[in-house]
Amino acid sequence: MTAMTYGAWLCLLAPLAATILITLCGTRIPRVAAAWVATTSCFVAFGGAIWAFFGVKSQPTGVGWTGYPPPANDFGRSHITTAWTWLQSGHFKVGLQLLVDPLSTVMMLIVAGVGGLIVLYSIGYMEGDDEERRYFAYIAFFVFSMLLLVEGGNLLMLLIGWGLVGLSSYLLIGFWHERPSAVQAAKKAFIMNAFGDATMALAFFILIAHTNSLSFGVLNTHLSSTATNLVALGLLGGAVAKSAQIPLQTWLPDAMEGPTPVSALIHAATMVTAGVYLIARTHVIFEQARTIELIAAGTGALTLLVAGLIALVQTDIKKVIAYSTMSQIGYMFVGVGVGAYSNGMFHLMTHAFFKALLFMTAGLAIHALAGEQDIRNMRGLGKVMPFTKWCFLAGALALVGIPPFSGFFSKDPIIASAAALGTWYGWIFWVCGIAGAFLTGLYTFRLWFLVFPGEPTPFVREHYHDHHGREGALTMLVPVGILTVLATFAGWLQFSPFWTPFTKWLAPAAPTLAAAVPSDTQELVTSVVAVLVGLGGIAVAWAIYSERRLAIPAAPFWRRLLENKFYFDWLYDRIFYGPAVAISNGLLHEFEEPVVLQTGPDIAEATFETGGLVRRLQTGLLRTYVLFLAAGAAAVVLAFLIAR
């Protein structure tokens, strides 16, 4: 094992060790101790990720390796480490493997780093909850699951992490299980993600049938056109479900039933980013099925518009931010779908910073207002929570993509990459991206102007409570401050086309397609237009919600359409839920009650009576048992005589 692989194993196993320790100790471990064990494990994992990152960086180019063949010539910066052979049947063999390369180390740093800050924030947020130990065991397991997903050295290990992420989200979304709405949201998320898991599993079965392997290397194998498209379609199904893209997006807003740190973790560092990572990791098969890859881009373009429109009418602060996540993941899908994998991944990184910041500042507000989430009751909050106000503003400007905040450096190159295709659908993606920038400015600053400026409402004055003279516990304020700095300055890591170290770093694992590289002119024009349009959205929000100079159009049809989220939930209820309930009730009344429940007691009664008859033969007298033994022996002898 090398330094990079030691770091990878440390990164993966630290959160798992915390989960096991908290679970085994049970009530014997104090609540505060459980919280710090989980938090420390995440930062240890982050240390392992840094170790692995510098281990990869120190590798010279041109060194041979085994495993997933990188498409570029940087052969020394990828390594597979195998603990043991886990499954073997004939020539089919799967090892417990981790893949350490530029792409996995980026994801390790994001998951462990941002995840650690969110778990630290949870110490203050969850203080006093009756089930703190269970919460921290779950959240450490969530981080472990996502790390397994991004570090998995073959497709089966990736699928295991994929499934465990779904399980973890189910446990955390439904953490407050005394609330029926939380239980329903958890089941909804689990079922919709299970659909994506199934399509991925089917894709893997096709790969096994054609290649007898699930190593990443088989993605380079020449398959028939039908098999290639089916595999890519199955992978896309998993990505769409996990990343809450149309048509499997309806679970994500309902997932806000979980604690706010869970929302931050799902949206920023885990789960919904998994679909983007999957397409980047398996880009080889998507490039062979280019139509499916472009469908991924089209799905993202549609989702970013639909989610942006729905966000305009939401009144729950967490749901506004949730729909912004759907929209921003849509941008990432456009990026990886057109072949600009590094652009999509760079936006994934900056989005992790500003989206975690937005959720955590919203959590400060919710925490200070005794759980209130309705933005119509929060006006003037900035006057009593200035730190939260300015930190939220930094996240909001990064979300809209206003320079010099991080979103500007990561979102605009994605839109420019769509223009670089030079095709009619490329320009449609470009228009969608620009329109999405306007919507982002509008719904983000609608939220801002409704919540923070002005004089506090009577509701705020009545319910606001500080934390020992501060806006929250230090364990909440410190992560928020760190994320504010990252959301503001992290984008300067790459400023395309002037310097592109992030793109160069990912090139061995996910090189950008030549067709998706925009010209300098396309970059410049796209950035100018996107920024101006984003500022236009902010201006409209200011005119409507701050100065009240513009009236909101009545448009009852469109308002109903947006408030009902384009009727996706209604449609799925009619197509799936309603028929399932009708069939279940029919089976209950026509079969279970008249057949199972009625015959059950009859069978039990008959069995009981038969047992009573047999019981009479059990006299407890030795002479009776000898008589039966002799009679049995005589019957056996008689049977032999007759047979002869």
Is the pLDDT score of 559 beyond 50?
Answer: yes
Could you please report the per-residue DSSP string of 186-236?
Answer: HHHHHHHHHHHHHHHHHHHHHHHHHHS--BGGGGGS---HHHHHHHHHHHH
Cα 405 from chain centre = 24
The pLDDT-based confidence of 472 (bands split at 50, 70, 90) is: confident
The pLDDT-based confidence of 175 (bands split at 50, 70, 90) is: very high
Is the pLDDT score of 617 beyond 70?
Answer: no
pLDDT of 76 reads 54
| Cβ contact 418:297 at 8 Å | yes
- Least confident residue range of 120-124, 367-371, 418-422: 367-371
Across residues 482-496, what is the average pLDDT? 94
pLDDT digits (tens, 9 = 90+) for 94-114: 888 899 999 999 999 999 999
Across residues 50-67, what is the average pLDDT? 71
Pairwise CA distance, residues 188 & 169, whole Å = 11
pLDDT digits (tens, 9 = 90+) for 497-508: 888 999 999 998
pLDDT of 135 reads 94
Exposed, middle or buried by CB within 10 Å (0-12, 13-18, 19+), for 208? middle
Is the pLDDT score of 30 beyond 70?
Answer: yes
Across residues 623-641, what is the average pLDDT? 81
Is the pLDDT score of 435 beyond 90?
Answer: yes
Question: What is the torsional sign of CA 123, 125, 129, 131?
Answer: negative
Contacts of 349 (CB under 8 A, 6+ apart): 106, 110, 410, 490, 502
pLDDT of 287 reads 92
The pLDDT-based confidence of 219 (bands split at 50, 70, 90) is: confident
pLDDT of 73 reads 37
pLDDT digits (tens, 9 = 90+) for 442-456: 999 999 999 999 889
- Least confident residue range of 77-86, 155-164, 493-502, 615-624: 615-624
pLDDT digits (tens, 9 = 90+) for 260-271: 999 999 998 778
pLDDT digits (tens, 9 = 90+) for 563-584: 888 999 899 989 988 898 889 8
| Cβ contact 171:119 at 8 Å | no
Across residues 145-162, what is the average pLDDT? 93
Largest CA distance in the chain: 111
How many of the other CB atoms lie within 10 Å of CB of 153?
26
pLDDT of 644 reads 65
pLDDT of 1 reads 63
Is the pLDDT score of 69 beyond 50?
Answer: no
The pLDDT-based confidence of 547 (bands split at 50, 70, 90) is: confident
Please report where in the chains the tokens 């120190």 appear, as a residue.
58
Is the pLDDT score of 65 beyond 70?
Answer: no
pLDDT digits (tens, 9 = 90+) for 389-409: 999 999 999 999 999 999 999
- Strands (E) located in 90-172: 92-100
Contacts of 139 (CB under 8 A, 6+ apart): 38, 118, 119, 122, 172, 261, 262, 265
pLDDT, the chain, mean: 89
Across residues 585-610, what is the average pLDDT? 76
Pairwise CA distance, residues 621 & 407, whole Å = 89
Helices marked H in 58-126 = 102-125
- Least confident residue range of 83-92, 120-129, 537-546: 83-92
